[in-house]
Amino acid sequence: MSEKCTSNCSTCDKSDCADRNDFLEPLNKDSSVNKVIGIVSGKGGVGKSLVTSLCAVAMRRLGANVAVLDADITGPSIPTGFGLHCQADVEDNTILPVRTDTGIKVMSINLLLASETSPVVWRGPVIAGAVKQFWTDVRWGDVDYMFVDMPPGTGDVPLTVFQSLPIDGIIVVSSPQDLVGMIVAKAVNMAEKMNIPVLGIVENMSYFKCPDCGKEHRIFGDSHVDQVAEEFGLKVLARLPIDPAVAKAYDAGMIETVGTEVLSDAVDVFKNL
């Protein structure tokens, strides 16, 4: 590691840091994780947790051993989508992930709190430390694909994940509004700074399909994702519609019953990593 390295990539002017591997945290000794995929966005409210959950469900349906690490410590919603309202068990000083109905392994701060409505009022370094512990202190077992649900933006936690976990690539989640360029640019630029591949873009809330006439309505206006994808040399992997049935299933903890055909291109990317 360079003697001048401050371990703070947000203030570093190096575009190609060869020291990234020096920051990687050791995986729990009783675990093996093949591929780690981050789900990110430059802003909140675009549906990262939904996309994370659907990606995990899609790969599980192919027979893969799948895990979800909920790195959104202050706004954890992954357990809700999978209907997990219990506490994780601890065995031999290691935390055991909670399994969903189909066998997806999940770890989230809400699975460790006495009450899932308890606020996490922690400062950045403590939150970042919790994310590291999800990697080092959780007995994940054998995992083919781990999806990491990131908090929005480019702050402490995304930086910690990029530095501490062996991320194989990220999916950028966006929405159709004009600010999609900013959303994607923030995430892509951070990933490039950390030498992490961007696997593609998933546009959420792309359109609403009328159940009566079948016509597609662009609730948030015309999509700009194709232009942005071309600008950054990325592929649009999916366009997810506004679907009240999907939202209802997520809120009811039944995301594993939702169809994932729209993510077929993303699945191909995961399989080819």
* Phi, psi (rounded to 5 degrees) for 153: 85, -165
Please, are residues 65 and 143 in contact by the beta-carbon 8 Å criterion? yes
Q: Residue 107: helix, strand or coil by DSSP?
A: strand
CB 210 within 8 A of CB 78: no
pLDDT given at position 10: 45
* Cβ-contact 101, 256 below 8 angstroms: yes
pLDDT at 7: 47
106 and 84 Cβ atoms separated by less than 8 Å: yes
Contact 129, 159 (CB under 8 A): no
* Neighbouring residues of 146: CB distance < 8 A, sequence distance ≥ 6: 33, 35, 36, 37, 66, 67, 68, 69, 140
Structure token digits, residue 60: 């599980």
Q: Report how far residue 94's alpha carbon sits from residue 54's, in angstroms, rounded to the nearest whole number.
A: 28
pLDDT by residue for the chain (273 residues), tens digit each? Answer: 444 555 454 455 544 454 556 689 999 999 999 999 999 987 788 899 999 999 999 999 999 999 999 999 988 999 999 999 999 999 998 999 999 999 999 999 999 997 777 878 788 889 899 999 999 999 999 999 999 999 887 778 888 999 999 999 999 998 887 677 777 888 888 899 889 999 999 999 999 988 888 888 988 888 888 888 999 999 999 999 999 999 999 999 999 999 999 999 999 999 999
Q: What is the pLDDT at residue 12?
A: 54
- pLDDT at residue 19, as a whole number: 55
How many whole angstroms from its chain centre is CA 202? 12
Distance CA 174, CA 184 (A): 7
In this structure, what are the phi and psi dihedrals at residue 82, rounded to the nearest 5 degrees?
A: -100, 5
Are 54 and 263 a contacting pair, CB within 8 Å? yes
Q: 3-state SS of 159-198? A: HHHHHHCCCCEEEEEECCCCCHHHHHHHHHHHHHHCCCCE
Q: Which helix (H) or strand (E) holds 32?
A: strand 32-40
Report yes or no: 97 and 90 within 8 Å, Cβ to Cβ. no
Q: What is the pTM of this model?
A: 0.90
| Cβ contact 62:268 at 8 Å | no
Residue 116: the pLDDT is 77
The DSSP bridge pattern shows strands 208-209 and 216-217 to be antiparallel
The three-state secondary structure class of 111 is helix
What does the pLDDT look like over 60-97, one tens digit per residue? 999 999 999 999 998 899 999 999 999 999 999 899 99
